[in-house]
């Protein structure tokens, strides 16, 4: 899936001797994951490239019994072992009361651009990332992942992407880590239903529950992206 390059790809290959390939079905999407297993610690996570350059799907391993389960939802050490180094400084949390709530498509411009590690705490949502890096081979293309408490799927979305989601169940929670603080002067958005992007939200756009700000966002063709592609970063 997708394209490969960079330190992250080379680091993934370094795990070849103790890696196992498997197929995991997530909703209606079939994803092939590389299972990275650290024997000394007994923890693993499944990581795969998506159809958009530099966006990764991540699933931490869960250890369960009759009481429930335990997992490391994020480990800086695990990420660094496969060439992913981020200094996350802020965790964001929101809840949407109604299914069909759309938040996005948002970005934070340099010098306060944000890498995000996104997961669902409760309910179910469709998470979206759109490449807006000028010169990127996947500029204007989007990828999605259905997330829920049950499936544990996460998306790692680096600088230079629009981000948004739609809730598929009431009272859905989204939680995401950021590697820079919120900076309102750098906040921006593009229309969620932009025809040039063509995201399939899985709902009728006319029935989407939106903020006034998101409803008034510009289209991609009228938007001068502050991001420039400088080669594969993951």
**pLDDT of res. 234:** 64
Query: Which parts of the chain have pLDDT scores under 70?
Result: 1-43, 233-234
**pLDDT of res. 225:** 96
Which residues does 17 contact at the CB level (< 8 Å), separation at least 6?
Answer: none
Mean pLDDT of the chain: 84
Catalytically annotated residues: 106, 176
Domain ranges of the chain: 6-62+76-222
Residue-wise pLDDT tens digits, 146-165:
999 999 999 999 999 999 99
**pLDDT of res. 63:** 87
Q: How many CB atoms lie within 10 A of CB 38?
A: 15
Is the CB of residue 174 less than 8 Å from the CB of residue 93? yes
- Which of 98, 106, 162, 158 has the alpha carbon at shortest distance from 124? 98
Predicted model pTM: 0.81
Is the CB of residue 174 less than 8 Å from the CB of residue 117? no
**pLDDT of res. 43:** 56
Q: Which CATH architecture describes the domain 6-62+76-222? A: Sandwich (2.60)
**pLDDT of res. 97:** 98
**pLDDT of res. 171:** 98
**pLDDT of res. 153:** 95
């Amino acid at each position: 899936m997708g394209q490969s390059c960079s330190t992250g790809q080379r680091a993934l290959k370094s795990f070849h001797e103790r890696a196992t390939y498997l197929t995991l079905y997530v909703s209606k999407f079939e994803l092939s994951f590389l299972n990275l297993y650290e024997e000394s610690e007994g923890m693993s996570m499944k990581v795969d490239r998506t159809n958009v350059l530099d966006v990764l799907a991540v699933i931490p391993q869960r250890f369960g019994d009759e009481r429930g389960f335990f997992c490391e939802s994020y480990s800086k050490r695990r990420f660094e072992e496969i060439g992913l180094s981020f200094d996350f400084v802020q965790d964001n949390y929101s809840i949407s009361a109604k299914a069909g709530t759309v938040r996005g498509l948002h970005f934070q411009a340099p010098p306060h651009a944000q890498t995000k590690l996104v997961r669902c705490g409760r309910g179910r949502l469709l998470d979206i990332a759109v490449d807006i890096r000028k010169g990127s081979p996947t500029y204007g293309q989007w990828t999605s992942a259905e997330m829920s408490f049950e499936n544990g799927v996460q998306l790692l979305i680096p600088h230079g992407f629009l981000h948004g989601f739609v809730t598929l169940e009431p009272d859905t929670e989204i939680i995401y880590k950021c590697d820079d603080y919120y900076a309102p002067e750098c906040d921006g958005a593009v229309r969620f239903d932009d025809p040039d992007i063509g995201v399939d939200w899985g709902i009728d756009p006319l029935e989407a529950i939106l903020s006034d700000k998101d409803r008034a966002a510009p289209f991609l063709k009228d938007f001068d992206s502050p991001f420039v592609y400088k080669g594969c970063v993951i």
